[in-house]
Amino acid sequence: MAEYQALYDAILNGDEALAVQITNEALARGADPSELITRGMIPAMDEVGRLFEAQEFYVPELLLAGRAMKASLEPLRPLLAASGAQPTGRVVLGTVKGDLHDIGKNLVGSMLEGAGFEVHDIGIDVPPAKFVDAVRSHTPHILALSALLTVTMPEMKKVIEALIQSGIRGQVKVLIGGAPVTRQFADQIGADGYGDNASSAVTVARSLLGQ
């Protein structure tokens, strides 16, 4: 029990080295990897998200917590794979074509990973065809699109159209976000969800999967 709390605190404080040390020591003592995630890591990242949403945490604190979570997850990955454990969901994430911004996308990726999602970040300036390829190869539950510029927002619609033309629109939920993006725009282009910040993106992603 104490190790879950220690891991929770280390992640909340963004202390990567300590989070990894606690994880490794817990594993050496025979701790269940799934329990470390569900009782230490995910609650910590949920609290990080809550504090960020309540405007009591800064962006660097959110990113450092995500970094600590990711690093402490590393030693668990082979054990989880061997046990057949499934992630919360699978997400392909990218910034649309013509847009070179990635901080918002990275924040969303970090928060989704913190919530137990398997995230495939395919980068920035991503053309519609590459999103289609990524949906085919990774078979995600959610495709998350980011845009920071008003001039690149229409690319989001092009990605959805490309999914339709490829006959795979029904296989994936589309979640969009970025500074100029609004819920109304999401509705207009036929996206399934809209997140107005990194933390709410997690909430929307969970709801899209019925969680």
Partner 1 sequence: MGGIPVLHAEGDCIARGWENSLIELHRNGCDVRTQYDKPDDPPSKDCTMILTITDPLCEPMIHKDFPGGPEQLQEYVMEVCEGIKDHLIRNPEDPADTRWEYTYHRRLFVYDIPGLGPFDQIETMCRKLAEVPHTRRAQAVTWKVWEDNDCFDPPCLQSLWARMLEEDGGWVLSLNARFRSNDAYKAAFMNIFALAQLQTKMGERISEISGKAVRVGRYCHIADSYHIYGSSFREFEGRFLGALQKRTFEQRTMRYEAVKGMMEAARPAILEKASRTGRR
CB count in 10 Å sphere of residue 157: 18
Of 2 and 55, which CB lies nearer to partner 1 in the complex structure?
Answer: 55
61 burial level (CB within 10 Å; 0-12, 13-18, 19+): middle
Of 43 and 98, which CB lies nearer to partner 1 in the complex structure?
Answer: 98
Query: At its nearest, how many Å lie between partner 1 and the CB of residue 184?
Result: 11
Of 88 and 110, which CB lies nearer to partner 1 in the complex structure?
Answer: 110
Q: CA 44 to CA 162: how far, in whole Å?
A: 37
Q: CA 56 to CA 27: how far, in whole Å?
A: 32
Query: At its nearest, how many Å lie between partner 1 and the CB of residue 66?
Result: 9
- Please give the residue ranges that form the binding site for partner 1 (CB under 8 A): 55-56, 58-61, 63-64, 67, 98-100, 103, 106, 123-125, 149, 151-152, 179, 182
Of 63 and 162, which CB lies nearer to partner 1 in the complex structure?
Answer: 63
The helix (run of H) or strand (run of E) holding residue 8 is: helix 2-12
Query: At its nearest, how many Å lie between partner 1 and the CB of residue 3?
Result: 25
Query: At its nearest, how many Å lie between partner 1 and the CB of residue 166?
Result: 23
Query: At its nearest, how many Å lie between partner 1 and the CB of residue 107?
Result: 9
Give percent helix, percent strand, percent coil of the chain, each to the nearest 5.
60, 10, 30
Of the candidates 68, 63, 58, which has an alpha carbon nearest to the alpha carbon of residue 22?
Answer: 68
Of 129 and 179, which CB lies nearer to partner 1 in the complex structure?
Answer: 179
